[in-house]
Amino acid sequence: MSQYTVVLLSSIIMYIVLAVSWTMFSAPTGYVSLATAAFFGAGIYTTAFLGEFIPLPLLMLVGGIVSFVLAFLVGAITLRLRGVYFTIFTFGLVELLKNLVLWFEIKFTHVRGRFVVSIDHTTVFWSLLVLLALLLVAVALIKRSRFGRALQAVGESEDAAAHIGVNTTLVKVTAFAVSAFAAGAAGAAMATRWSYIDPGIAFNSLMSFMPVLMAIFGGMRKTAGPVIGAILFAYLEELLITRFPSLYMIIFGAIMVGVILFLPDGIMGLVTKLTRRGAKTLEHS
């Protein structure tokens, strides 16, 4: 593979990880989180601090754990908020962390940004691929487990779930933290791609919105949805940026509006519909 392909594929895998991990928590529970950038950024800063001392797999593990703990604490406080209040808080978290890290750096380390250790693209690619594989296994296991059923119950009727014995707070916070682990690990790996980072780069709110858009684009009912959404979206982004650099956001926006209006269940919803229609036509002929 050429270096360009490796880098492009790494980006796509990163987006798949973020979209799948976002969907894992937000789709069954109905709690829309915009905190992905916060956990992704926490992973980036893990590598920025520790990159010189420990190898990449360990960096990803530590980045994941940092995000997991962060999500657990934040979740314990905020997951009693419902609906749009939760969403607003999670979005605020990105700004809060950005400014907290900036304040810390300037006050105590007297730097604004940091140079990050660089690791060759192929290693990053394989590490991300392993992370994705683990994430997909985790998602499949959770879907089949009691924990998965509890998540679904919380999403469909939180009061009813609590009254049949589901510890709703614990279930929500745990799922939120597991999803944050993946985003943190992805951030730790991706940090090595940028030789320099600062809080503005690390905690980029675009990383909160992209996974949501990708999941909507692909459809959230099946795990394949966010995967396909992320692949198409990431590739489309690359294509539009290189071909139509000045129009890219406009075209992007138009496609997004079209998908939301005409494909409420995303690409996967369309695929399901078409295969069903196909099966019916076959029956009739």
Residue ranges that bind another protein, judged by CB under 8 A:
146, 149-150, 152-153, 156-157, 159-169
State which residue, 118 or 167, has the beta carbon closest to another protein.
167
- The least distance separating another protein from the CB of residue 172, rounded to whole angstroms, comes to 12
Rounded to whole angstroms, the Cα distance separating 284 from 48 reads: 61
- CA gap 217, 213 in Å, rounded: 6
Q: What are 241's two structure tokens?
A: 């940026």
> Rounded to the nearest whole angstrom, what is the least distance from the CB of residue 167 to another protein in the complex?
5
Q: Which helix (H) or strand (E) holds 196?
A: strand 196-197
- Compare residues 111 and 140 and give the one whose CB is closer to another protein: 140
Nearer residue to another protein within complex by CB, 57 or 155? 155
> Hey, which residues does 197 pair with through a beta bridge?
114
**Cα radius of gyration rounded to whole Å, the chain:** 19
Show Cβ contacts of residue 150 under 8 Å, excluding neighbours closer than 6 positions. Answer: 161, 166, 171
Least distance to another protein, CB of residue 161, Å: 8
First to last CA, the chain: 46
Closer Cβ to another protein, 34 or 166, answer by number: 166
Q: How far is the CB of 227 from another protein (least distance, A)?
A: 21
The CA distance from 62 to 46, in Å, is 7
Name the minimum Å distance from CB 273 to another protein.
Answer: 19
Q: Which is nearer to another protein, 71 or 161 (CB)?
A: 161
